Structure 1
Amino acid sequence: MAENRNINSQVSLIAEETGLADISPIVLSSGGNLIIHLAPHPIVARAATVISNEEDTEYVYNILDRELRVARHLQSKGIPVLLPTDLIDAGPTNVGGTWMTFWEYVTPVPLQPPSPSEAVEMVNRLSIAMKEYSEELPRLGVWERTCQSAVRLKSHSDQRVQALLDVFVRVDEQMRSEPSRLMPCHGDAHARNILPSSEGWLWTDFEDVSLMPAYWDLASFVGNLALFGGTQEPTFRYIVEHIDNSTDLQAFGFAITARIIMSTLGNLDFALAGHGDLKFATRQLELAGDFIHQIDLMMDGK
């Protein structure tokens, strides 16, 4: 894509102005934001192509600046995270209209996926550390995009979409009814946002940090695993079996229902606009209604 090539050139120019030489940019990912390794240097440029089209440049700057701050906070709490680089100014920097930040490059290594108990421990440690983040965070920030998707999908002819929109309205009302119960969360703590490194799994991508309901990060981690694997999916079963009171179980059930709604509506909206994987989004849509019904049954039976 010509736009990505242009960003590559601009990123290289900015990096060279900081004293880095002989840069060979390597695109690591372009499915969402553009991730570029400034080889041979251990630096990655994260170009916020998804949100840089926002008219409010201060809004975009604040998101990326907050992402850097959260990563440093989590490191201070002993959470393994991918860190901003200290070799050049980490940003945020506006390069030709695209905002970007600069992070350490970590060579991925083969690691066994975390077991259910390891995954839950990882997420719980992350959630505890996030609760101690004292700076301002957007209320329901990661959820607001779902609200935008719901508006765009309102006239969609598929009855499965309309059924999910009905659930969305109920969930949205409940989520907004108790703002004092919201807490700092990673916002998007799924398995693709942990990076396998020689030091173990590292949390990445703090763009969606928000004040969200209890168990949001745990629901984010297990949501699609359970959607595609069913309620017997091992990590999901481990979570349910180790929640020892009905109040917490209801809170987890609410969080995972909301997360499935967010992922399904958001991915479908994104794909229909030509920016995502329509096959994947359609499969989510096929599964979401029955899965949410199963969650409701589980919660009613406890």
Structure 2
Amino acid sequence: MTPEEIARRTELACEAAFTAASDLDLEVTDTEVLHEAFSVVVRLSPTPVVARIPVVHPPGTTAEQVEERQCRELDVAGWLHEHGVPTTRPSPLVPPEPVRQDGFAITFWELVETTPDHQAYRAADPEVAAALHLALAAYPGELPFLAPFNGALAAMVEAAEGSPLLSAQDVDRLHAQWHALAPVLADEDAFQARFGPTTVQPIQGDTPVHNVIRSPRGLVFADFEDVCRGPVEWDLAGLGAEAVAAYDEAVENLDLRRTDPRLVEAMDAARRVQAVASLCLVPQLPLLEQGLAPLVQQWREQDVTLRI
């Protein structure tokens, strides 16, 4: 997409959020884009409400699948908030459900004020992931197993073949790693058959230390669209040995297990496959290319053998 096309997509998303909010009897006189990447996040002034509108989707994603993810996110975030976890919560001014408007699926959230040091994706200490995992472990709802891996990733791996950023050798390697990992991570039964009775629990699904808002009341967890069941190592994948060690130190006084080195290795490998396959999304989100380029180069330079 060209910059003009992306700007138009953002404009249409804002218009849809304005219309949907007005139809829900929210007072809206102005919209302000707070953030845009995979989703457009829009402040709806003067009401203390933020609309979140996904605009980048893996190939083959249906409207129903988008809304299923949103429903899981709304339910988990609402549950966490009710249980005292500092989390962005669904706006109490509207029903906690996605709204479809002009082709967009929109969710509405309570505004969280930020502090001057807030920066999107700026990492928090690994200890906060341990605190979140402790809270999530009690979540009673049903969740899919490793949704980011078992959902759209197969289609993304296939679509990545068309990326000009990957050589034929890269594509062959990506397919080989996907086919090695997929049977082992397909479901909880297959996973535990390979790794034994390892604890699997609700997890955030997308690196919780990078998905926090710095607010006057402290760190606030956000972005639960990939929430699922899985090993906690998935939420730590790619953070490195120091972060994993800090996490393990943090869980010493919590009712959580330490990380398993085998799972750290397996989840790191699965995340690398996910990152490389995400090149198929560059046409929808060109800024991804710059962010993914060093990860792809590291992947090329790493040992091709998967010890799982």
TM-score by length of structure 2 reads: 0.77
SS of 2:65's equivalent? helix
2:182 aligns to what? 172
Which one of 265, 284, 290 corresponds to residue 253 of structure 1? 265
Which one of 235, 241, 255 corresponds to residue 243 of structure 2? 235
CA 1:292–1:125: 2 relative to 1, 3 Å: farther
Q: Is the 8 A contact 2:31 2:44 kept in 1?
A: yes
User: Which range moved further: 17-26 or 249-258?
Assistant: 17-26
User: Which range moved further: 9-18 or 134-143?
Assistant: 9-18
Cα distance in 2 between the residues matched to 1:194 and 1:170: 33
Q: What are the ranges of 5 or more consecutive residues in structure 2 without an aligned counterpart?
A: 1-6
- Counterparts of 1:269-280 in structure 2 under 5 Å? 269-271=280-282, 275-280=286-291
For 2:64, the aligned partner's letter is E
Q: Deviations over 1:199-239 (max 9, x none)?
A: 111111111112223421122xxx1x54xxxx5xx425545
Q: Deviation at 1:25?
A: 0.1
2:98 aligns to what? 92
RMSD: 3.4
1:200 aligns to what? 218
For 1:249, the aligned partner's letter is P
Cα distance in 1 between the residues matched to 2:61 and 2:174: 30
Q: Deviations over 1:227-279 (max 9, x none)?
A: xxxx5xx425545788999982222222222222212322x221256554212
For 1:269, the aligned partner's letter is C
2:167 aligns to what? 157
Q: Is the 8 A contact 1:93 1:99 kept in 2?
A: yes
Q: Deviation at 1:38?
A: 0.5
1:290 aligns to what? 301
Which one of 63, 69, 73 corresponds to residue 67 of structure 1? 73
2:204 aligns to what? 186
Cα distance in 2 between the residues matched to 1:23 and 1:287: 47
1:218 aligns to what? 236
CA 1:38–1:101: 2 relative to 1, 3 Å: same
Which one of 33, 37, 48 corresponds to residue 42 of structure 1? 48
Q: Is the 8 A contact 2:126 2:209 kept in 1?
A: no
Q: Deviation at 1:111?
A: 4.7
CA 1:205–1:152: 2 relative to 1, 3 Å: same
* 2:275 is the counterpart of 1:263: yes
1:145 aligns to what? 152
Cα distance in 1 between the residues matched to 2:135 and 2:251: 20
1:21 aligns to what? 27
Q: Deviation at 1:75?
A: 2.0
SS of 1:60's equivalent? helix
For 2:268, the aligned partner's letter is I
Q: Deviation at 1:11?
A: 2.1
Q: Deviation at 1:290?
A: 3.5
SS of 1:153's equivalent? helix
Q: What are the ranges of 5 or more consecutive residues in structure 1 without an aligned counterpart?
A: none
Q: Is the 8 A contact 2:43 2:51 kept in 1?
A: yes
Q: Percent identity?
A: 24
TM-score by length of structure 1 reads: 0.79
SS of 1:36's equivalent? strand
Cα distance in 2 between the residues matched to 1:103 and 1:273: 25
* Residues matched between the structures, number: 282
Cα distance in 1 between the residues matched to 2:77 and 2:249: 31
Cα distance in 2 between the residues matched to 1:150 and 1:169: 10
SS of 1:128's equivalent? helix
Q: Deviation at 1:18?
A: 3.8
Q: Deviations over 1:9-29 (max 9, x none)?
A: 232233234443352100112
User: Which range moved further: 93-102 or 46-55?
Assistant: 46-55
Cα distance in 2 between the residues matched to 1:179 and 1:202: 33
Whose helix proportion is higher, 1 or 2? 1
SS of 1:82's equivalent? coil
Q: Which has the higher contact order (CA 8 A, sep 6+)?
A: 2
Q: Is the 8 A contact 2:24 2:94 kept in 1?
A: yes
For 2:154, the aligned partner's letter is C
Q: Deviations over 1:64-97 (max 9, x none)?
A: 1211100012223332111111123343111122
Q: Deviation at 1:190?
A: 4.2
